[in-house]
Amino acid sequence: MEAIDDVVTRWKANHLSLNPPASAKDLARLEAELGCPLPEDVRTYFSLADGMADGEYEEETFVALWPIRKIVTENEGPDGAWRKSGKDALGEFRDLGFADFSIHASFICFRMRPSSGLAIHVEQADLELPSLESFFRRYLDDPGSLDLLDLRDL
C-alpha cells in the first residue's frame, strides 16, 4: 500500500492534524455501513489515520478526508447528504461519501456495485477508480487528473 503510506507521510510532514487510527469497532461499523467486506487498502488507510481532524483539509488540494464517525453520521437516513444511488453505464451503484473537496463543493465516495464490489468515485471529475490505493496514487502524482486543485503548481 505504497500510495497510502506516502500520502499519510506527506500529511504528517506538512503538519496536517490527523485522527488516531480507527478502532476495530469503527472499522466494523464502516464495513456494516458499506455492506461489503473492507478491501485491504481501505483497512490499511483507516488503520494509519482515521481521517483528518475535524475542519482540517490539505491546503494544496482543499481535500478533507473524514473520520469513520463522520462518514457514518453524516450519511445517516435515506436522504443523507453524502449518500447517492442510481444507475449509470456500468450498472447500479450506491455511493457513501468519505471526503469532500473545496468545503463541500464536491465529494469523493466509496462506490459499491453489486457486480464488481467497492470502487472510488470522484464526483468533481466524474471518475471511478478501482481502489483507494489507486485514488491516493493519482492524488499524490497528478491531482489535476482528479479535477482537484494543486496549489504547488500555482
- Reading the block at residue 75, the C-alpha cell is 450519511
| Domain architecture of the chain: domains with CATH | 2-146 (3.40.1580)
Each residue's pLDDT tens digit, 120-148:
999 888 899 999 999 999 999 998 888 87
Does pTM surpass 0.85?
A: yes
Each residue's pLDDT tens digit, 1-47:
799 999 999 999 999 999 999 999 999 999 999 988 999 999 999 99
Residues near 45 by Cβ (< 8 Å), separated by ≥ 6?
Answer: 1, 4, 8, 132, 136
Beta bridge partners of 83: 96
